[in-house]
A and B are shown apart, each in its own frame.
Chain A
Amino acid sequence: MPHRYHPWGRYPRWPQAAVRLNWRDSALPCLSDPTRNYLPFGNGRSYGDSCLTPGGVLLDARGLDRFMAFDPATGILRCEAGVLLSEILAQVVPRGWFLPVVPGTQFVTVGGAIANDIHGKNHHRAGTFGCHVRCFEILRSDGQRLRCSPAANPEWFRATIGGLGLTGVILWAEIALKRISNAATTVEVIRFPALAKFFELSAESDRDFEYTVAWIDCMAPGNQRGRGLFMRANHAPAGGCLSPKAKKHRVSIPVDLPVAVINRWSARVFDSLHYHQKLNSRGAAVVHYEPFFFPLDGIGYWNRLYGRRGFFQYQCVVRHTEEGRTAIEDILQCAAGGQSDSFFGVLKVFGNRPSPGRLSFPRPGITLALDFLNRGKPTLDFLERLDQIVAAAGGAVNPSKDARMSAASFKRFYPNWEILENLRDPRFSSGLWQRVTQE
Chain B
Amino acid sequence: MRRILIFGATSAIAQATARLFAAHGATFFLVARHGDRLQAVADDLLVRGAAQVATAILDASDYDRHPALIEEIYQRLGELGIVLIAHGSLADQKACERSFEVTRREFETNALSVISLLTHLANRLEQQGHGTLSVISSVAGDRGRQSNYVYGAAKAAVTTFMEGLRNRLYKSGVHVLTIKPGLVDSPMTARFPKGFLWTRPEVVARGIHQAIEKRKDVVYLPWFWYLVMGVIRALPEAVSKKMRL
Residue positions of A touching B, CB distance < 8 A: 1-3, 19-20, 22-25, 63, 66-70, 79, 91
Contact = CB atoms under 8 A, between A and B. Distances in A.
Contacts of B36: 25
A1 B190 contact: no
B71 interface: no
B200 A68 contact: no
Contact of B196 (A1, A19, A66): A1
B40 interface: yes
A67 B44 contact: yes
B195 interface: yes
A68 B190 contact: no
A20 B190 contact: yes
A66 B194 contact: no
Contact of B47 (A19, A20, A22, A70): A70
7 contacts: A1-B200, A22-B12, A22-B187, A66-B43, A68-B44, A69-B43, A79-B47
Interface of B: 12, 36-37, 40-41, 43-44, 47-49, 185, 187, 190, 194-196, 198-200
Nearest to B185: A1
A91 B49 CA distance: 9
A1 B44 contact: no
Contacts of A1: 185, 194-196, 198-200
Contact of A68 (B40, B187, B194, B198): B40
Contacts of B43: 66-69
What are the 7 closest A-B residue pairs judged by CB atoms, nearest first? Answer: A67-B47, A66-B44, A1-B198, A70-B47, A67-B44, A25-B36, A22-B187
Contacts of B41: 66
Given A91-B47, A91-B48, A3 B40 contact: no
A68 B195 contact: no
A68 B37 contact: no
B88 to A, nearest CB: 16
Contacts of B48: 67, 91
Contacts of B37: 23, 25
Contacts of A22: 12, 187
A3 B194 contact: yes
Nearest to A29: B190
B54 to A, nearest CB: 18
A29 to B, nearest CB: 10
Contacts of A25: 36-37, 40
A2 B12 CA distance: 20
Contacts of A66: 40-41, 43-44
Contact of B40 (A2, A24, A70, A91): A24
Contacts of B198: 1
A209 B126 CA distance: 62
Contacts of A91: 47-49
Contacts of B199: 1
A292 B200 CA distance: 30
A103 B176 CA distance: 46
Nearest to A19: B190
B18 to A, nearest CB: 11
Given A1-B196, A1-B199, A23-B40, 16 more contacts: A1-B185, A1-B194, A1-B195, A1-B198, A3-B194, A23-B37, A25-B36, A63-B187, A66-B40, A66-B44, A67-B44, A67-B47, A68-B47, A69-B43, A70-B47, A79-B47
Nearest to B199: A1
A128 B41 CA distance: 30
Contacts of B12: 22
A414 to B, nearest CB: 36
B47 A69 contact: yes
A187 B223 CA distance: 44
A2 B44 CA distance: 28
Contacts of B190: 19-20
Contacts of B187: 20, 22, 63
A23 B200 CA distance: 17
A3 B84 CA distance: 30
A5 to B, nearest CB: 12
A20 B190 CA distance: 8
A22 B195 CA distance: 21
A125 B47 CA distance: 29
A22 B41 CA distance: 12
A23 B10 CA distance: 10
A437 to B, nearest CB: 32
A63 B48 CA distance: 17
Nearest to B12: A22
Contacts of B196: 1-2
Contacts of A70: 47
Contacts of B40: 23-25, 66, 68
A256 to B, nearest CB: 16
Contacts of A20: 187, 190
